[in-house]
Amino acid sequence: MAISYQDAFDEDADLSEINTTPLVDVMLVLLIIFLITIPVINTSVAVRLPREVNQLRQTQPETVLISVDAAGASYWFDARLADPQSLRDRLQQIAGRTPQPEVHIRGDARADYQAVARVLYACQQAGITRIGFVTEPPAQHGH
Q: What pLDDT was estimated at residue 47?
A: 44
Q: What order of strands is seen across the sheet that includes strand 79-80?
A: 79-80, 74-76, 64-68, 103-107, 131-133
Q: Is residue 73 part of a domain?
A: yes
Nearest to 56 by CA among 139, 140, 143, 137: 137
Q: Are residues 93 and 124 in the same domain?
A: yes
Question: Per the domain annotation, does 90 fall within a domain?
Answer: yes
Asked if residue 66 and residue 27 are part of one domain, the reply reads: no
Q: Are residue 11 and residue 69 in the same domain, yes or no?
A: no
Residue 91 domain flag: yes
Domain encompassing residue 71: 50-133
| Per-residue pLDDT tens over the stretch 92-105 | 988 888 888 889 88
How many domains does one find in the chain?
2
CA angle, residues 123, 125, 131, in degrees to nearest 5:
25
Tell me the longest C-alpha to C-alpha distance in the chain. 108
Asked whether residue 80 falls in the same domain as residue 102, the answer is yes
CATH code for the domain in which residue 76 is found: 3.30.420.270
pLDDT confidence of residue 29: 92
Chunked mean pLDDT (size 10), the chain, 143 residues: 56 68 90 78 51 57 83 86 88 86 87 88 90 78 54
DSSP state letter for 78:
T
